Chains A and B, each alone.
Chain A
Amino acid sequence: MSKKTLLSKEEILHLAKLAKLQLTDEEIVKYQSQLGETIEYIKNLDELDITDIPATNSVGNLENVTYEDGAQSLNSLTEKEALQNAKKVKNGEFAVTRIME
């Protein structure tokens, strides 16, 4: 049985905050061990020698893909379409509860 990593409650809460997720107390405990288990497994990558190996940041050998400025939009939305799925709209704008600066 490999060494078990257990994330601390603080770590879980910090991650949840960054990810804008709300967790129940149950979930916090569950994730502590489940994430730990996964982290243990993925450490198997340390078995490989990757010195001088470049990272694959893009699959497919494509490069310099761009579009010409001023090209016609194929998907421009009307104001109605843009707003059609919003929960709260005010004066043609998306609305949220006022943000305190």
Chain B
Amino acid sequence: MLLGKTITQLRSLIEKKEITSKEVKEYFLKRIKKFNPALNAFLTLNDVEDKSIGDRMLGIPLAVKDNFCTKNLRTTASSKVLDNFIPPYESTVTQKLKNAGAYIIGKTNMDAWAHGSSTETSDYGPTKNPWDITRSPGGSSGGTAAAVSAYLAPGGIGSETAGSIRQPASWSGIVGLKPTYGRVSRFGVIAMGSSLDCPGPLTLTIEDAAYLLSLIAGKDIQDATSSPLPIEDYVTQMKKKKTYTIGISDDYFEGLDTDVAKALQNSIDIFKKLGFKTKKVKLLSPNYAISVYTIIQRAEVMSNLARYDGIRYGNERTMFGTEAKRRVMLGTYTLSYGYYDAFYKKAQKVRTLIIEDFKRVFKDVDFIIGTPTPITALKLGEFSKYPFFGELMDKFNEPGAMAGIPAISVPVGLDRNNLPIGMQLMANYFHESDILNASYQFEKETNFFDVIKKGVARYRD
């Protein structure tokens, strides 16, 4: 019975010849056919026969967010502007996965252009939360999160600008890792926030996340912002016996739903049980990060969408959705003549403060604990009421995003409505190993309170 088998387990099964790559591929294709119509996680299925070159992923399927350019496979960023775009080249991340023998089974739904936290701004309809299809799976990597949560693929790739991996992982009840900015190449990722975008894995276990990270991380000569720091053996590092100090900042406990607050406190207790220390820390209020993020991201968005003129590819700009237009307008405003100093330059200076703030705190602690969002999955339709709502919801993610530090979201229970609750750990630059180590210990201790097991079980073969 393959249901719920992790990437690590599937690799073992295939290596032991207990099952073939072909059988695994067909298994998931069957599940996608059965469950995707209701969930709308996948936009495009990959029927191009990929010859696995590598021997590591052994043809195991992965769901890939539709903002990664996949050669000869339609890529839309969930926008009608790119409805028929067939990239003539491959993103570095998907190329690495292909070289490692992974099978990209399909491209997943997202908020159009990654503008959003609910996957509702997609021009192809929202993705449903597998836990409750009247609710959002989170966003913008909602399609990948839903696909993994409902076991339509054993793992997947998303991207985060400020919360877009952590938050859907939290709402969909799976693991989501946002690496340090520059740890994974952005080449071929349809740009949203150039100084923010981070490709990262969404998986069922920490080991799977560590494994996928080891496949996609590393310097890319085609991305001038990618880090030359050597990548670590994340899977090995993850299993070492270590204890850490967790930073507790009051800001990350403000405004939490009662069940979420309880689950967070419970998580801290678990870490204490594992021998971790805790320490109170004081950080700059996330409200400033919200403003910094809003200004910088929208300026970069305006700029990155300027190339869509319908001449070399894509459809006309009239096909941009409301959210995209809104963000472009604000970006234009804050960069326009006379406003640069008042907004953009100021935001970049405050960004320096945020970075220095984290650097200071990480001298004393290894992690800062919190939740990716103060609530659990919202009903579809709630988001569109407020233009700024998404940012306020993402306030726990924005400071880390502005600094570029890594973070993870792991499931820590279900709320009164049987919806997943996520907990996040943020760490210092390039400390992915520590994040994975601590999370692995947590997983071993709690099995994530069976959240993932329960989630997958809702979608029996």
Check whether chain A touches chain B (CB < 8 angstroms). Answer: yes
Residue of A nearest to B354 (CB): A56
- Min Cβ gap B241→A in Å is 31
Question: CB within 8 Å of B: which of A10-59?
Answer: 11-12, 15-16, 18-23, 27, 31, 34-35, 37-39, 41-45, 47-48, 50, 53-59
Q: How far is the CA of A8 from the CA of B123 in the complex (A)?
A: 29
Q: Map CB proximity to B onto A49-82 as digits: 1 under 8 Å, 0 otherwise.
A: 0100111111110100101000000110100011
CB distance A44 to B326 under 8 Å? no
Q: Are A87 and B86 in contact (CB under 8 A)?
A: no
- Shortest Cβ distance from A47 into B: residue: B288
Q: Which residue of A lies closest to B194 (CB)?
A: A59
Contact among A19, A21, A38 with B387 in the assembled complex (CB-CB below 8 Å): A38
Closest B residue to A40 by CB, please name it.
B388
Task: Provide the residues of chain B in CB contact with A15, threshold 8 Å.
Answer: 329, 332-333, 336
Asked whether A1 is an interface residue with its Cβ less than 8 Å from the other chain, the reply is: no
B85 touches A85 (CB 8 A): yes
Interface residues in chain A, defined as those with a beta carbon under 8 Å from any beta carbon in chain B = 7, 11-12, 15-16, 18-23, 27, 31, 34-35, 37-39, 41-45, 47-48, 50, 53-60, 62, 65, 67, 74-75, 77, 81-82, 84-87, 94, 96
A35 to B333, Cβ gap below 8 A? yes
CA distance A84 to B318 in the complex (A): 22
**Residue B325 interfacial (CB < 8 Å):** yes
Asked, given contacts A42-B343, A44-B291, A54-B349, whether A19 binds B329 with beta carbons under 8 Å apart, the answer is: yes
Is A53's CB under 8 angstroms from B353's CB?
yes
In the complex, how many angstroms separate the beta carbon of B269 from the nearest chain A beta carbon? 35
- The distance in angstroms between the C-alpha atoms of A94 and B314, with both chains bound, is 13
- Asked if B346 and A50 make an inter-chain contact with CB atoms under 8 angstroms apart, the answer reads yes
Contacting pair B333 A59 (CB below 8 A): no
Is A87 touching B310 in the complex (CB atoms < 8 A)? Answer: yes
Q: Closest 9 CB pairs between A and B?
A: A85-B313, A55-B348, A81-B88, A42-B291, A65-B224, A50-B349, A34-B387, A56-B351, A59-B404
Bound-complex Cα distance A51 to B66 (A): 42
Is B295 in the interface zone, CB < 8 Å from A? yes
A54–B85 Cα distance when bound, in Å, is: 40
For the complex formed, measure the closest distance between the CB of A9 and the CB atoms of chain B, giving whole angstroms. Answer: 13
- B348 CB contact (under 8 Å) in A35, A57, A62: A57
B195 within 8 A of partner (CB): yes
Find chain A residues with CB under 8 A from B407 CB. Answer: none
CB distance from A8 to the nearest CB of B (A): 12
Q: Give chain B residues whose Cβ lies under 8 Å from the Cβ of A31.
A: 325-326, 329
What is the CB-to-nearest-CB distance from A6 to chain B, in angstroms, rounded to a whole number?
A: 13
A81 to B310, CA, bound (A): 16
Chain B hits for A55, CB < 8 A = 345, 348-349, 351-352
B181 at the A/B interface (Cβ < 8 Å)? Answer: yes
14 contacts between A and B (CB under 8 A): A12-B329, A21-B325, A38-B294, A38-B388, A39-B333, A42-B295, A50-B346, A55-B345, A56-B348, A59-B181, A60-B182, A75-B89, A85-B84, A85-B88
CA distance A53 to B325 in the complex (A): 32
B200: shortest Cβ distance to chain A, in Å? 16
B317 contacts the other chain (Cβ, under 8 Å)?
Answer: yes
Shortest Cβ distance from B324 into A: residue:
A21
Among B85, B225, B294, B310, which residue has its beta carbon within 8 angstroms of that of A58? B225
CA distance A87 to B221 in the complex (A): 32
Residues of B within 8 A of A58 (CB): 195, 225
Q: How far is the CA of A86 from the CA of B312 in the complex (A)?
A: 5
Q: Are A59 and B349 in contact (CB under 8 A)?
A: no
What per-residue 1/0 map shows which CB atoms of B350-374 lie under 8 Å from chain A? 1111010000000000000000000
CA distance A96 to B309 in the complex (A): 11
Give the distance to chain A from B344, nearest Cβ to Cβ, in Å: 9
By beta carbon, the residue of chain B nearest A54 is: B352
State A34–B323 Cα separation when bound (angstroms): 11
B347 engages A45 (CB within 8 Å): yes
> Contacts A18-B332, A27-B322, A34-B387 hold; do A60 and B181 have CB atoms under 8 A apart?
yes
Question: How far, in Å, is B131 (CB) from chain A's closest CB?
Answer: 31
Chain A residues with CB under 8 A of B85: 85
Alpha-carbon separation in the docked complex, A31 to B444 (Å)? 49
Q: Say whether, besides A34-B387, A37-B387, A20 and B317 are in contact (CB < 8 Å).
A: yes
Complex: how many Å from CA A11 to CA B336? 11
Q: Is B46 an interface residue (CB 8 A)?
A: no
State the Cβ distance, A63 to closest chain B Cβ, in Å: 10
Given A50-B349, A59-B404, A96-B311, the answer on whether A41 and B88 have CB atoms closer than 8 Å is no
